[in-house]
Structure formats: structure tokens, C-alpha cells
Structure 1
Amino acid sequence: LIGSTIISLVLYVGVCTVMVGLVPYASLNSDSPLSEAITATPYGRWLSILMNLGGIAGLTTVGMMSVLSQTRLFYAMAHDGLLPHIFAKLHRKTNTPWISTLICGIFCALFSGFCPVDILGETTSISALIIYIFAHVSVLVMRFTHKDMPRGFKVPCGKWLIPTVGSLLCVLLLKGISKATAFRFLAWTLLGQIVYFSYGYWNSTRRE
């Protein structure tokens, strides 16, 4: 894990260094800075086309994985009673939560088709930051509530330093979120709370 993180860090720093070496950094303030840098090379035209195609393929893969992971979250929640059981219904042949996949696919297609990209990006960013904050705080809390829980591996400085610094950095990044995005996130969170307290809380298997 640490090795892969270091490799990713070195690659990112290397790419950024090459970009700044190709063009002035002020010209990289665009929607596709890497494409701008590649265009400055003698083979920039066809290289930028290949890079953009690779970016589209990468984003498509990430989008598909996000949708598929969401269907598995709905499956787990429905299995625990937090959502209606229809989300946990498996297909006879593929043994996958096909109804959950269908609902998530239609929902994501509609939102991506009608909502502006910047709104979707900002909403996704604030959601990810909130999730990361809860993940970091959970590590700290579990040090007290689950002291004897078996740990498969240990991370250097992962007991207190990394969760604390990570959560603080996420809070710092939240300062750049616009008020409109914050209100949208609060409205979305309120909708989730309504679903939880109207259905999930009363049907959760953990309450039994």
C-alpha cells in the first residue's frame, strides 16, 4: 500500500514537472491542462488526441466502477434491512443485484444528462470529502471502542497522526466548496435521513 502510494506520488510529480517544463504554468489553468502541455510538443496534435481518448476511456471506467460499487452498497444496506429488499434481489443467472443496478444506472444517466458537469463534480467532491472525514474519525474512535479488534496490518503513524491530519486536510478543502454546493449536499443528506428514519431504522436487522 505504501509502495503503490509512493509510486503514484512520483508519477504525479514527474508529470507535473514535465508539464511546467513544456509550457508556462499560467497556461495550464484550463479544463485539460495535460492536453495543453502536450499540444506544445512537435507531435502534439495526434498525441493530444490519443491522450483525450485515454482520458475518456479512463473516466468511463471510473464511472462504471462507481455505479457498480453503489449497487453493492445498496445490496448490503438492503440485506441489513436499511433499504427495501428489492435492492438485494439477485439475478438467477448472473447472481448480481440486477434491480439495484438498473435503478442506479437510470438514476445516474438522468442526472448526468440533465445536470451541468460542474454541479455534478462539486457535489461528488463534497460527498467524497465528507466520507473521508468520517473514515478518518472512525479510525480514531475505534481505537477506544474496539481496542482488541484484530488488525490485519499496521500503517506507520496510522494510530493518531494520519487520521488527524487527514481529517483536518479534508476540512480545509471543504472551505473551497461554494454555498450552493453545501446546500445541495445538506438537502441530499436530509433526504437520506428521511429514508433512514422512516424505513431503515425500523427495519434494520441489527435492532432485532
Structure 2
Amino acid sequence: MARAESTRTPTRIQREKTEAILAAALDIFAAEGFRGATLDQIAEAAGLSKPNLLYYFDSKEAIHQTLLERLLDTWLNPLRQIDPAGDPLKELGAYIQRKLEMSRDMPRESRLFANEILRGAPHMSPATMAALKALVDEKVAIINGWAKAGRIEALDPYHLIFSIWATTQHYADFEVQVRGILGPSEDGHHHDASAFLSRLYTRGLTPG
């Protein structure tokens, strides 16, 4: 468990140390994966001794789970913002852009989440997965409504969402591959990716 965070009124120093541990752990987990990361590495990166770190978190699992719980709420915000009253193509286009911006601005978080899913999501609780499914189901109903009204092409909305996740998060999760093929870029090639994906999805979703 996260000991310091369970304190009713954590001190400023406790809050700062907790955040330092989580920031260091994010770097280590993103680079090494859960199995490759160690408490010693996290403690060193946070500027703490291992016993001091264990005052705040009693295990590597506790740190990882805290990061995931914080991340998932942030990760779902772009999907939450899809407005059923808006123009379908604009709403879905804006969602794609928000996901690309997260890929550009939060690559470590993206890799942390991807690694957790690839491992079978052992640190994501059933309640967390249920919340994810409920939100996706809610947005699928909206997309289905748009399709039935003839406002967008009738496509399987679940696979549409999966494809958006895959194409946008690719630029964070496979950053090394993108850079190796396309060369270095100040924005990680996100401007070009944005133009391409906007055109791809607009054409695919425009009713024929």
C-alpha cells in the first residue's frame, strides 16, 4: 500500500517525497518495464534510500498500482470529452487530436499503460476495468446513434475506438521505431501524423 498517501493529513514533505517517488518510478517503469524495474533503481532516481522509500510505499507493486490508478483517469479524459450533441466528424477528429497530443506529451505514461496491458493487467482492479468498459460502452452508443442517423459511416464503433488507440498511441509506444525509420523530429512527427490521421478518419467516416 501507499503508506504516506493513507495518512489522513500528510505533511508537505510527505507529499513531496511521494511525488518524487512516483515521478522516478514512472521513468524507471517506462524504460525497464515492471519486471525490470527495482526498488533500488526507483529509490536512487528519487534521491532516497531504499528504507526511506519503503516508508512511503511498501512494495514495487504498490508504486506501480498508484501510478496506474492516477494514469487511467487522465487517460480516459479525451474519450469522456466526446459530446453527443456535437458534430460527429468534428467530435471524433478532436478525440484523435487529443490522443495524439497525449502520445506526444505523455510518452512514459503511454508505455507504462501499454506494458501493463501486455502483461495481462495484473495491477488493474476489476472495478477499474469495469469503469473503462462502461465509458467505452457509453461512447459506442453515441457513435451508433450517429451512424443510425446517417451522420457518419456505419462502422463497428468498438473497432473504431480500438483503431484510434492503436494509431495514436503508436507514436509513443513505438517511438524508437518511428524515429529509426523517419529520423529525428522536434515534435516526434506528430504534425505529420495529425494530418494523415485526420484525413484517413474523415474520409473513412464521411457517409458515402
Range into which the TM-score falls when normalised by the shorter chain: 0.3 to 0.5
> What is the TM-score with the length of structure 2 in the denominator?
0.33
Q: Which entry has the higher C-alpha Rg, 1 or 2?
A: 1
> What is the TM-score with the length of structure 1 in the denominator?
0.33
